[in-house]
Amino acid sequence: MDEEPERAKRWEGGYERTWEVLKEDESGSLKATVEEILFQSKRKRVIESHEQVRLGMMRHLYVVIDCSRSMEDQDLKPNRLTSTLKLMEAFVDEYFDQNPISQVCLHRNPKKHIAALKKAVDTVCVGEPSLYNSLNQALQSLKHMPGHTSREILIILSSLTTCDPANIYELIKTLKSLKVRVSVIGLSAEVRVCTVLTRETGGLYHVILDESHFKELLMMHVKPPPASSSSECSLIRMGFPQHTVAALTDQDAKPSFSMSHLDSSSGPGLSLGGYFCPQCHAKYTELPVECKVCGLTLVSAPHLARSFHHLFPLQAFVESPLEELQGDRYCQACQGELKDKSIFTCTSCHSVFCVECDVFIHDTLHCCPCCIHSQVTPL
Amino acid sequence: MKLNIEGLLVYFPYDYIYPEQYSYMLELKRTLDAKGHGVLEMPSGTGKTISLLSLIIAYQRAFPLEVTKLIYCSRTVPEIEKVIEELRKLMEFYSKETGESNNFLALALSSRKNLCIHPEILHANIVVYSYHYLLDPKIADLVSKELAKKSVVVFDEAHNIDNVCIDSMSVNITRRTLDRCQNNVDTLQNTIHKIKETDAAKLREEYRRLVEGLKEANVARETDIYLANPVLPDEILQEAVPGTIRTAEHFVGFLRRFLEYLKSRLRVQHVVQESAPQFLKDIFDKVCIDRKPLRFCAERLQSLLRTLEIADIADFSAVTLISNFATLVSTYSQGFTIIIEPFEDRTPTIANPVLHFSCMDPSIAIKPVFQRFQSVIITSGTLSPLDIYPRILDFRPVTMASFTMTLARTCLCPLIVGRGNDQVALSSKFETREDFAVIRNYGNLLLEMSAIVPDGIVAFFTSYVYMENIVASWYEQGILENIQRNKLIFIETQDAAETSMALEKYQEACENGRGAILLSVARGKVSEGIDFVHHFGRAVIMFGVPYVYTQSRILKARLEYLRDQFQIRENDFLTFDAMRHAAQCVGRAIRGKTDYGLMIFADKRYARADKRGKLPRWIQEHINDGSLNLTVDEAVQLAKHFLRQMAQPFRQEDQLGLSLLTLEQLQSEEMLQKITQIAHQT
């Protein structure tokens, strides 16, 4: 028997019933209910994050991306791997934007990650993944992290099988005792062992529906998780270096290398200005960073401030049915017409928003634009 | 919660109730009110057991004179234990709600190790035991004959009840049986000799009793104390045991003669099929055994064993079997057939003669049950089409209803795959059975499914032989190797120990994320008794239509009988039988409302209306035009979509009000309206 040639062209793949997404619901309740449930969970996420909880602001997150054979699958365009990596770039950006003093895979530099991700696009995906091995490897580095930071692993799992060298349930126990929080995003279906893994370690387990849902799920992990009450509290030394640029007129100024470029061959070599560590005066071009010389954490004040909004979140908007709204049916933020069956009202300025803007305001802006506006006008 | 079902106060030990449970109880109550029999189909995992128990017990309490006892028959020991567990919960709820300690006595007869035939069974309000205690005449005589008339009998998981009936009335006799029987007869003879020397009076007393006839038994039957034994027909009781077998020695001699005759019959070279009257004529011609003494054989042997005070009856199973056979063959001129085969079909060179005395009419065994008890409920997850059961069991039900599963999300996804990717029609029918292309496409289906279905897949084949052929072929084509990259493969075999080992490892592989496929056989142990909840069975693939082996002579005889006696066409019965087994197989995956699973029917014949229409309603209503006659690729796309939908978080709140009700929701007008639509009357 000849093996059938690998499917290479789009038109050779199985046809997809794209029209079914648009299907009006009359026969079964499936579509409507699932969407209803998703809508509810979207809202729920916003609401949940507004309880006053202690959040772990310094995060150590390991992202494990499955590169097994199943990543070649073309149900995400152009294939699962490329799509995942593209979304991961956005994720890394967003992650550092929202959590400037946290780390992914023990690096602070988002640029490095993005470069690495770009390189990974060409990876050939073969073989079967091992959940055990990847968890174990992540655990080896995470377990040395200080107690006041969160230890998280995010696994993006495409395969439905895992070939493990040992009993994974033992490892789950170890993870639990070391307070490592493991979350999984499944690309194909619900796998039992992941359900157990995430339930035991207190993480989240989600399976994507399509690409936009995938993105949503990824962005969910941008928010810091509630810190467990048992994690230690400690004070951390931080340096706030100022950006100084030697005046061009200063004849003594000499361009110098930044410490962060020591280990990478690429990038700009010499520059005049930079951030200087207040402790040892080592020069860096970017913040936040951990000083290579004295180990001091260097951040700028805005970074810290951005992390802070997690602690003082915006109040949840009140949901009410559209019919009750008097006056113009326009969202105050996007100026679009309100079409959904429910609307959202800010508790302090009583402005009305649509669900998309509600999510955007709470996830990204972290402040109500109308409140700000009314504060500014009297000036 | 406390429910009001048409005026009856029912205690229900849970805070929530499924709408179909309410509907089920409603139908059940109407059946009890009418004092008639009922056939009720409700999907597994929707709480049949607790609905049955709560309603019947409430009924018993409300009308203690109308219904005195509940006899709950289930199939296997684990099922019986499940019933007891539910019953315990209900009892706790009763004592909590009413504040009084309950005076209900429930009794479970499960395995031999806790077998008890204490007279207390007479006073128990609830008896839970296996089918055989009621249907098998050998056991029913010991255990069930004293049960009161005003009992409600429930047969749970009753989709195979006709086969149980037939098995309980059929006798297979091999050379081994006859040899053991010979030993039994020798032992009897020796014991008689011994007793004659020591206690001849005892034998004389027995003789006197036999002369007077079996009056006692007759009196008992007329006064309606005992459940009738189908082996022992009414006429016998009117008469005295004939003189030829009245003394013990004569009887033993008679048995010897009968035995020699059977031995001679087994020395055949070709297959013989004959009816009971033909057999009787032959035996009269050859060894001068009359019909009359044969009819008394079973009763005479019982009497002898009692007189000789033989403690261990199990040792005499062979001779009991032969004497039962003698009585049956001389009693029923219809409904039975005798087939003597000199060898098995598969091994025509090895002589292994078997005499099949096979019952073709399941109503013979179950008739006393329907006649005696005021309400008999036959229920299961798969009883479709409902009307065939009353026909083959020969009774007239007052209610027949099929209930669907109300679902907050569509958690089952039946797909009928009729073609491979190369458009080759998939079918297990005899002509294409060896077809290379079909086997390859079946392999391809399993391979593709193994890549997209998480954790466990159970695949069913139509027979062991077919499975072996296909798996061997897959191995040669390298398909197995590819599948093993995705999942481990386990195979059910005819060896019980091997199978339970495979099952254990299968579950382990599902548990730790490696994923596994279990290849098994419809009508096998796995297809009937083992549930694959949640991740143990995310998909069931049914390769082919599981028709019974139609070349068997016993089956042919039965089909002929069904056609002549019940006007059921051969094809209808075969399809019905195949579809109920297919439904059983695919039903293994869905064991509740939070569970979900794919049901893949891989045979183009499933798409036909005559096949599809015989599936239970709760499966049928999810088969739409879009899931018929798919190619493998299309099925994969649909399955992927389904599995992603199902993997989305699903909480109890999502079910509330739709498929799970609180008491307030239940009482709303709108809901009651909906509930009446759940039961589908036929």
| Local confidence band at B94 (pLDDT 50, 70, 90 cut-offs) | confident
Contacts of B455 in chain A (CB under 8 A): 160, 191-192
Predicted local confidence at residue A23, as pLDDT: 43
Contacts of A182 in chain B (CB under 8 A): none
Q: In this structure, what DSSP letter does residue A64 have?
A: E
pLDDT at residue B3 greater than cutoff 90:
no
Q: Which residues contact B484 (CB under 8 A, 6 or more apart)?
A: none
CATH number of A54-222: 3.40.50.410
Per-residue buried b or exposed e for B89-111, using 16+ beta carbons within 10 Å of the residue's own CB: ebbebbeeeeeeebebebbbbbe
Q: Which residues contact A268 (CB under 8 A, 6 or more apart)?
A: A261, A285
Closest by Cα among B529, B433, B524, B541 to B487 = B541
pLDDT at residue A26 greater than cutoff 60:
no
Per the CB < 8 A criterion, the answer to whether B321 and B178 are in contact is no
- Segment B114-123 shows an average pLDDT of 57
d(CA B444, CA B441): 5
Predicted local confidence at residue A379, as pLDDT: 43
* B175: contact with A, CB 8 A cutoff: no
Chain B contacts in chain A segment 185-204 (CB below 8 A): 186, 188-194
Q: What is the DSSP string of B437-503?
A: HHHHHHHHHHHHHHHHS-SEEEEEES-HHHHHHHHHHHHHHTHHHHHHHH-EEEE--S-HHHHHHHH
The Cα-based distances of B396 to A180, B362, B375, B616 in angstroms read 64, 15, 11, 21
Predicted local confidence at residue B440, as pLDDT: 93
Alpha helix segments (H runs only) across A107-210? 110-120, 131-142, 168-177, 192-201
Lowest model confidence (mean pLDDT) among B359-363, B527-531, B584-588, B625-629: B527-531
DSSP lists the bridge partners of residue B489 as B517
Per the CB < 8 A criterion, the answer to whether B232 and B296 are in contact is no
Distance to chain A for B456, nearest Cα, Å:
10
The residue extents of the domains of chain A are 54-222, 238-308, 314-376
Distance to chain B for A67, nearest Cα, Å:
15
* Choice between A119 and B430, residue whose per-residue pLDDT is larger: B430
Torsion (CA) B192, B196, B201, B203 in degrees, nearest 10: 20
* A131: contact with B, CB 8 A cutoff: yes
Predicted local confidence at residue A25, as pLDDT: 46
**From its phi and psi, is residue B657 left (phi > 0), alpha (psi between -120 and 50) or beta?**
left
* A74: contact with B, CB 8 A cutoff: no
What tokens does B414 get?
A: 């039946």
Instruction: Please give the helix or strand (H or E) that residue B5 lies within, else none.
Output: strand B2-5
The Cα-based distances of B198 to B191, B300, B310, B622 in angstroms read 11, 22, 16, 75
Predicted local confidence at residue A42, as pLDDT: 61
The Cα-based distances of B300 to A66, A198, B241, B311, B458 in angstroms read 76, 69, 8, 17, 51
* Choice between B631 and B593, residue whose per-residue pLDDT is larger: B631
* A17: contact with B, CB 8 A cutoff: yes
* Choice between A118 and B36, residue whose per-residue pLDDT is larger: B36
Lowest model confidence (mean pLDDT) among A8-22, A302-316, B75-89, B496-510: A8-22
What tokens does B225 get?
A: 């104390």
Mutation choice for B interface testing from A15, A16, A34 by most B CBs within 10 A: A34
Mean pLDDT of chain B: 85
Instruction: Tell me which residue in B452, B511, B534 faces A188 most closely, judged by beta carbons.
Output: B452
Per the CB < 8 A criterion, the answer to whether A169 and B512 are in contact is yes
**Chain-chain contact of A209 with B645 (C-beta, under 8 angstroms):** yes
* Choice between A36 and B510, residue whose per-residue pLDDT is larger: B510
- Segment B43-64 shows an average pLDDT of 88
DSSP lists the bridge partners of residue A183 as A154
Predicted local confidence at residue A111, as pLDDT: 65
* B409: contact with A, CB 8 A cutoff: yes
Tens-digit pLDDT profile for residues A285-301:
777 777 778 878 787 77
pLDDT at residue A5 greater than cutoff 50:
no
The neighbour count for residue B679, using CB atoms within 10 Å, is 20
Tens-digit pLDDT profile for residues B281-293:
999 999 888 888 8
Distance to chain B for A202, nearest Cα, Å:
15
**Chain-chain contact of B486 with A160 (C-beta, under 8 angstroms):** yes
What tokens does B386 get?
A: 């409902």
* Phi, psi angles (nearest 5°) of residue B43: -60, 150
d(CA B558, CA B361): 8
What tokens does B545 get?
A: 């239509």
* B674: contact with A, CB 8 A cutoff: no
Tens-digit pLDDT profile for residues B208-220:
777 765 555 555 5
Q: How many CB pairs below 8 A link A and B?
A: 108
Tens-digit pLDDT profile for residues B159-184:
889 888 998 888 899 989 999 999 99
Lowest model confidence (mean pLDDT) among B165-174, B295-304, B320-329, B469-478: B295-304
Instruction: Tell me which residue in A29, A168, A206 faces B513 most closely, judged by beta carbons.
Output: A168
* B215: contact with A, CB 8 A cutoff: no
Percent of chain B with pLDDT over 90: 32
Mutation choice for A interface testing from B422, B444, B453, B455 by most A CBs within 10 A: B455
- The gap from C-alpha B569 to its chain's centroid, in whole angstroms, comes to 22
Domain A314-376, architecture per CATH: 2-Layer Sandwich (3.30)
**Chain-chain contact of A190 with B624 (C-beta, under 8 angstroms):** no
What tokens does B436 get?
A: 């290379």
Lowest model confidence (mean pLDDT) among B85-99, B124-138, B426-440, B569-583: B124-138
Mutation choice for B interface testing from A19, A68, A72, A192 by most B CBs within 10 A: A192
Distance to chain A for B509, nearest Cα, Å:
10
* Choice between B223 and B266, residue whose per-residue pLDDT is larger: B266
Mutation choice for B interface testing from A68, A188, A196 by most B CBs within 10 A: A188
**Chain-chain contact of B513 with A192 (C-beta, under 8 angstroms):** yes
| Local confidence band at A224 (pLDDT 50, 70, 90 cut-offs) | confident
What tokens does B529 get?
A: 């008794």
Per the CB < 8 A criterion, the answer to whether A67 and A117 are in contact is no
What tokens does B512 get?
A: 């730790």
d(CA B29, CA B26): 5
Contacts of A190 in chain B (CB under 8 A): 454, 535, 643, 646-647
d(CA A197, CA A184): 9
Tens-digit pLDDT profile for residues B567-595:
889 999 999 999 999 999 998 888 888 88
The neighbour count for residue A50, using CB atoms within 10 Å, is 13
Contacts of B646 in chain A (CB under 8 A): 189-190
Contacts of A191 in chain B (CB under 8 A): 454-455, 513, 515, 535
Q: Which residues contact B560 (CB under 8 A, 6 or more apart)?
A: B570
Tens-digit pLDDT profile for residues A232-285:
566 777 888 877 776 666 666 677 777 766 655 555 567 777 788 888 888 887
pLDDT at residue B330 greater than cutoff 80:
yes
Q: What is the DSSP string of B575-620?
A: HHHHHHHHHHHHHTS--SSS--EEEEEESGGGGSHHHHTTS-HHHH
Mutation choice for B interface testing from A11, A37, A187 by most B CBs within 10 A: A37
- Cis, peptide link before residue A5, omega less than 30° from 0: no
* A7: contact with B, CB 8 A cutoff: no
Q: Which residues contact B668 (CB under 8 A, 6 or more apart)?
A: none
Lowest model confidence (mean pLDDT) among A141-150, B508-517, B576-585, B634-643: A141-150
Predicted local confidence at residue B245, as pLDDT: 82
DSSP lists the bridge partners of residue B660 as B656
3-state SS of B415-455? EEEEECCCCCECCCCHHHCCCHHHHHHHHHHHHHHHHHCCC
d(CA A145, CA A60): 8
Instruction: Tell me which residue in B454, B477, B648 faces A34 most closely, judged by beta carbons.
Output: B648
The model carries a pTM of 0.82
Predicted local confidence at residue A247, as pLDDT: 60
Instruction: Tell me which residue in B486, B534, B647 faces A207 most closely, judged by beta carbons.
Output: B647
d(CA A357, CA B328): 82
> Position B165: which residue type?
C
- Burial of A6 from C-beta contacts in 10 A (0-12 / 13-18 / 19+): exposed
**Chain-chain contact of B513 with A41 (C-beta, under 8 angstroms):** no
Predicted local confidence at residue B381, as pLDDT: 87
d(CA B53, CA B82): 12
The neighbour count for residue B311, using CB atoms within 10 Å, is 8
d(CA B116, CA B107): 9
Tens-digit pLDDT profile for residues B646-682:
888 887 777 777 788 888 888 777 777 777 777 665 5
d(CA B511, CA B501): 15
Tens-digit pLDDT profile for residues A140-159:
888 777 767 778 888 888 88
d(CA A152, CA B174): 69
Domains annotated on chain B, with CATH: 2-158+374-405+661-681 (3.40.50.300), 168-360 (no CATH), 412-649 (3.40.50.300)
The neighbour count for residue B405, using CB atoms within 10 Å, is 27
* Choice between B520 and B108, residue whose per-residue pLDDT is larger: B520
| Local confidence band at A4 (pLDDT 50, 70, 90 cut-offs) | very low
Predicted local confidence at residue B151, as pLDDT: 86
Contacts of B593 in chain A (CB under 8 A): none
- Segment B181-201 shows an average pLDDT of 87
What tokens does A74 get?
A: 């073309």
Instruction: Please give the helix or strand (H or E) that residue B83 lies within, else none.
Output: helix B77-98
Contacts of B454 in chain A (CB under 8 A): 160, 188-192
d(CA A241, CA A279): 9
Strands (DSSP E) contained in B327-433 are: 336-343, 351-359, 375-380, 397-403, 412-419
Q: What is the DSSP string of B127-170?
A: EEEETHHHH-HHHHHHHTTT--TTEEEEESSGGGHHHHHHHHH-
Closest by Cα among A275, A307, A305 to A292 = A275
- Segment A33-37 shows an average pLDDT of 60
d(CA B295, CA B297): 5
3-state SS of A255-274? CEECHHHCCCCCCCCEECCE
What tokens does A44 get?
A: 């729920």
